Amino acid sequence: MDKDLACTLIEKVKKLTSDKYCSVINIEGTRQNVTRFANSEISQNTNKSDINMSLTLHDGRKEATCGTNVLNDEGLQRLVKDAESLLAISPQGNYEFASWGKPSLHTTESDKELRLIYDAKGRAETIKEGIKDFETDFTAAGALVLENKISAYGNSYSDEVLFASLDNVQFNTVVTHKPSNADGGGECISHQANQLNIKEAFSHAKHWATLGSDTSNLVTLNGGEYTVVLSPMAVGNLVAFLGWSLNAKRVADGLSFCNSSLSNAPKLGENINIYDDVNDSRVFPWYFDYEGNKRQTIPLIEKGVVKNLLYDNKTAHLLGAEQKGHAYSNKGNGGASLHTIMLGGDSTQEEVIKSTTRGLYISDFHYTNFVNPCTLQLTGLTRNGTFLIEDGQITKPVTTMRFTQNILEAFTNVEVISKELTVVNDDGWASVMPSIKIERFCFP
């Protein structure tokens, strides 16, 4: 879908909608060209397109939203009819849509090289190149995805339409040493062809699988508090939950560790600095949010102090705050950080490990979830490479462990942060993370 088609569809819906209502139209979607592989062989090539339109009608403080993925004339007529029928039986709310003017935005442009390099043939050749030097004891599985993200926004207050379309590539792999069943993981994500190194991601995964294959030294540890060194992927996993807890809707619903004024927010370590920065070249240039607001760069945590929540229009109105362009839906679900960046420290990644007398190196977490969102206590499992650190050296593989940890306390106990930063995949968006060392991380 291009901008002309998006404008045409939005204009059709506006014409079908009664003039007595304020209408807001969103188009969101992705087109994915996916190559999956398993046992070091390509197992699937698929193309998937998923484009959805939503229509929100406002009549004073009454509101109704309906959606469809049927974008022909009949589907659009049904969308308008359903939204008007739902509006007629909707109760009065506490929010009234305000007038809107098109913000001044940078243009989102795709790197044309991505489609040339990562077509079906190119994806197959890239995977083949990544595994060609593997010994027969190793096998790889994963996926290489060429994705196009699409977003469009329009409303009945203006003839203007906001539109963004961005190509990006996402890659993940797990390399397994077959005799020992030891795994290692690797990934990369970028909207810039020259920032992708998929062969290096394969090598990274194989490195951890090789270290884990020494089953004669495999260690099973008792529960307790350990010093941990987390890879950027593992750090990104924890920071994502911290970001979710700064969603103003969760705060308003009492599902966060802080209140709307941030007066009760605990102070983290002074070395913790986390931003949402749409203007950083490493993250996706997505300059407007789901409600047509211009995205602004904001500090989330600065020198350990929580500085901002993430609002949509409704939560900003409810809490008397300024909207800064972080809505991720038009349903009052609050805001989200899609451009999360944690600042680095002064140490190299090697120095982070060398500074550890005894501890654990953790490549990644999975099955991570809240135990208590109000205290930010999480639980999850290690995966794709967990190792014992002794006297500043990674020495032995460790079996999978479950952690249960208050993340606020963890980010108070960060002793060392790497100066190298890595782009990691945050649910289909790029974020930027360092490696960190945390004292007293809990494995019950």
Any idea which architecture 3-211 has in CATH? 2-Layer Sandwich (3.30)
| Residue stretches of the chain with pLDDT short of 50 | none
pLDDT at 263 (0 to 100): 87
Whether the model pTM is above 0.85: yes
Burial grade of 251 (CB within 10 A; 0-12, 13-18, 19 or more): buried
Q: What is the pLDDT of residue 93?
A: 87
What is residue 157's predicted lDDT score, i.e. its pLDDT?
87
Where in the chain do CATH 3.30.2290.10 domains reside?
A: 3-211
Report CA-CA distances (Å) from 348 to 342, 352, 360, 437: 15, 6, 17, 12
Give the pLDDT confidence of 374-399 residue by residue, as tens digits: 999 999 999 999 999 999 999 999 99
Q: What is the pLDDT of residues 108-130, one digit of tens each?
A: 999 999 999 999 999 999 999 99
pLDDT at 122: 98
Query: What letter would DSSP give residue 99?
Result: P
Q: Residue 5 in contact with residue 165, Cβ under 8 Å?
A: no
Give the separation between CA 118 and CA 114, rounded to whole angstroms.
6
Would you state the pLDDT for residue 223?
A: 94
HSE, CB side, 13 Å, CA atoms: give it for residue 91. Answer: 2
- Token pair for 384: 């794709």
Q: What is the pLDDT of residues 45-91, one digit of tens each?
A: 999 999 999 999 999 999 999 999 999 999 999 999 999 999 999 99
Q: Under the phi-then-psi rule, with left for phi > 0, alpha for psi from -120 to 50, and beta for the rest, what region is 406?
A: beta
pLDDT on residue 88: 95
| pLDDT score for 104 | 79
Residue 79 has which token pair? 């969308």
Tell me how far apart the alpha carbons of residues 53 and 94 are, in angstroms, rounded to a whole number. Answer: 25
| Whether 406 contacts 377, CB under 8 Å | yes
